[in-house]
Amino acid sequence: MKGFTNFVSEAYDIIPKSEGEIDELDIPHDKEKLKALFTDVVTRTGVADPIAISKSTKEKGIKIMRSVADDLDLAKLSGTYGFKVSAGNGSRGGGGNKSMGFGFEGLVFKDINTYIEEGIDSPNFKYPDFMKKLHTEMLSKHSEITVSLDGGLNTRRPLVFTDIGALIKGRELNIGQYVTDITVNGDGNPYFLSLKYGGTVTFFNAGVGTIFTEDQFKAGKISNRDAKQLLGMFGIDETRFIEIFEGYDKKTASKRAPKDIVDVTRKVKLRPLLQLLVTGVGMGYWMVHKKGKDIAFYEMTRRKMMDAAKVSSVKVQYPKKGTAKRIDIEVVTKMYIFKINIRNKQGKLYPSHIMCDYKPNPAYAK
């Protein structure tokens, strides 16, 4: 059996990725104000984990990732939310892996170890209802159980372009070993648990700076094959896409400017889009998704993977010329609602990343 280890906090080594994870942290900060700050900065920057905080009672300030801090009014953020906000990456090292010991993964890991030591009737579970589900679906079927905390080992899954289209990492669909945060072994059989927090979670975050180069925008034509493939897959008008970035003006920029929302469902390249989604969602693991007080728990089977990729509508949101340097796409499937944006994450003009979050489709019946 692998016992639970309490992780020792260092200054600014807690890097939350959702409001849900902030709720689970043992920190001296006002969590409601911290969640509001977190959401504000994520919305402004498009970065999934832009803040770093400390568990120490002596360190109540908030660090904003240096790559985006220059684009923010840190003094105004400090005044609005009541924290001393400054630029700094914190102890990011492996992308914030140290924060897991204080968050959802660490608590679930501890619960499973408690189960191993004390059984399902233990009064010491943090999430007793979830543990009952885990017991019924998995743990009760085995006599020898071990568990490991593997979130820090997650394999990078970049956007890759192939002869059949854009894919997440590649053609492999059994991705449990790549996305596992906690791995349970029952009599030698591995169960991969992928843990998510909050109503909206990250699907993929991939660099596109090498395919959307400045010279193409200046020439008024996207010539890179992969870039054209990506725009075509989402039904994005190339001319309007170029105008968004070339026409951007700081003086007229506004997050509240109206957008032209265009239904492109009949225009998208459906097969490439399906391939992108199935390789991203994949199968061969168990989803553990905490939303508020509830934890959704289900096996990502082939059927669910296909439900997640069955597209019902696609809409492109074109900002009014001069007001924004990003484009947003909404892809609704049978199981999820994907929110995609193409923008620059470093505060510059031309696109550097394509980012995608998703939330469950409330119309989906499991």
- Residue 26, pLDDT above cutoff 80: no
Which range scores top for mean pLDDT: 16-30, 128-142, 238-252?
128-142
- Residue 168, pLDDT above cutoff 90: no
pLDDT band at 324 (very low <50, low <70, confident <90, very high): confident
Q: What is the pLDDT of residue 67?
A: 63
Phi and psi for 119 in degrees, rounded to 5?
85, 175
- pLDDT more than 90, % of the chain: 45
Q: What is the pLDDT of residue 46?
A: 65
pLDDT digits (tens, 9 = 90+) for 261-280: 999 999 999 999 999 999 98
Q: Which amino acid is at 188?
A: G
pLDDT digits (tens, 9 = 90+) for 95-127: 343 443 346 888 899 999 999 999 999 999 999
CB crowding 325-349: b at 16 or more within 10 Å, else e: bbbbbebbbbbbbbbbbbbbbeeee
pLDDT digits (tens, 9 = 90+) for 209-261: 999 999 999 999 999 999 999 999 999 999 999 999 999 888 777 767 778 99
Looking at residues 322-328, what average pLDDT do you find? 89
Strand, helix or coil for residue 28: coil
- pLDDT more than 70, % of the chain: 87
As a residue count, the chain comes to 366
Mean pLDDT, the chain, rounded, equals 84
Q: What is the pLDDT of residue 251?
A: 79
Q: What is the pLDDT of residue 8?
A: 34
- Residue 3, pLDDT above cutoff 50: no
Six-digit token pair at 197?
Answer: 């927090």
Looking at residues 291-309, what average pLDDT do you find? 91
Q: Which residues, at least 6 apart from 86, have a Cβ–Cβ distance to it below 8 Å?
A: 61, 62, 63, 64, 69, 74
Looking at residues 38-56, what average pLDDT do you find? 79
CA-to-CA distance for 102 and 89, rounded, in angstroms? 18
Which range scores top for mean pLDDT: 58-67, 115-124, 203-212?
115-124
Six-digit token pair at 214?
Answer: 């400045």
Phi and psi for 138 in degrees, rounded to 5?
-140, -60
Q: What is the pLDDT of residue 11?
A: 64
pLDDT band at 157 (very low <50, low <70, confident <90, very high): confident
Residue 159: Cβ within 10 Å count: 22
Which residues partner with 353 through β-bridges?
Answer: 207, 343
The helix (run of H) or strand (run of E) holding residue 135 is helix 128-137
pLDDT band at 307 (very low <50, low <70, confident <90, very high): very high
Both ends of the chain: CA-CA distance in Å? 34
pLDDT digits (tens, 9 = 90+) for 137-153: 999 999 999 999 887 56
